[in-house]
Amino acid sequence: MSQARVLSDREVRKVLLFIAGRKHASRNRALVLLSHYTGMRVGELVSIRLGDVLTPEAEIKDEIRLKPSQTKGDRGRVVLLPKKAQDEIRQYLLNRFHTKDLKPVLLTDLNRALFTTQKHPDRGFTPNTGAQVFHYIYRGAGISGASSHSGRRGFITNLAAKGVAARVLMQLSGHRSLQVLQRYIDTDPQTVRKAVELI
């Protein structure tokens, strides 16, 4: 089985342009960008609850503490949210709840899914239906070879290309094996050329 393709910045922009003209644009944009900004697996993304991302002061947390039931291998982990991921979540929730700030969201059931569906507004997506959404988006945007794992591979590849140490990458991605992590890192001739110029 071939690995999911790592998208270029230009391809990500093309995907976002496709999403912008479709139903559920705010949700789908946040879903795709969070996969690229955090490297979370689709099963982790769709398992996130409102309470996982909101502080008692109605701010977006800077990390998500995934319970063992929310991760692959049933081992809890912490996912750090860079500022641009926090901003995406905030904007999505403001759109979803039609509000100017997030305080009213605290008055709702915080056990509901962050990413909702029309059919299951409380539970949200299953990992399978979440993967189908990614498939539909990438196919619709004309990106072949991409899947729900593309954001995760891109996250790891981009950080590796910027010199982030393997042990840090393991912690950020939730991998326990260096060997498995290395299979995620995509290389291209330009990256190899830049590496040799560091000598």
Residue 196 in this model has a pLDDT that exceeds 50: no
Calculate mean pLDDT across residues 71-90: 88
Which pLDDT band, with edges at 50, 70 and 90, does 198 fall under?
low
In terms of residue numbers, what domain contains 142? 9-150
43 domain-assigned = yes
Residue 130 in this model has a pLDDT that exceeds 60: yes
Find tokens 């260096």 and name the residue.
178
190 domain-assigned = no
182 domain-assigned = no
pLDDT in tens, 152-184: 888 888 877 787 777 777 676 665 655 655 655
193 domain-assigned = no
Which pLDDT band, with edges at 50, 70 and 90, does 17 fall under?
very high
Calculate mean pLDDT across residues 81-99: 96
Mean of per-residue pLDDT scores for the chain: 87
194 domain-assigned = no
55 domain-assigned = yes
**Total structural domains in the chain?**
1
What Å distances lie between residue 112 and 46, 47, 66, 168, CA to CA? 11, 10, 15, 31
Q: For residues 23 and 51, give the distance between their C-alpha atoms in angstroms, rounded to a whole number.
A: 25
**At 94, which CATH number?**
1.10.443.10
46 domain-assigned = yes
Q: For residues 29 and 191, give the distance between their C-alpha atoms in angstroms, rounded to a whole number.
A: 28
pLDDT in tens, 30-76: 999 999 999 998 999 999 999 999 999 999 999 999 888 888 777 87
Residue 197 in this model has a pLDDT that exceeds 90: no
80 domain-assigned = yes
Q: For residues 98 and 180, give the distance between their C-alpha atoms in angstroms, rounded to a whole number.
A: 42
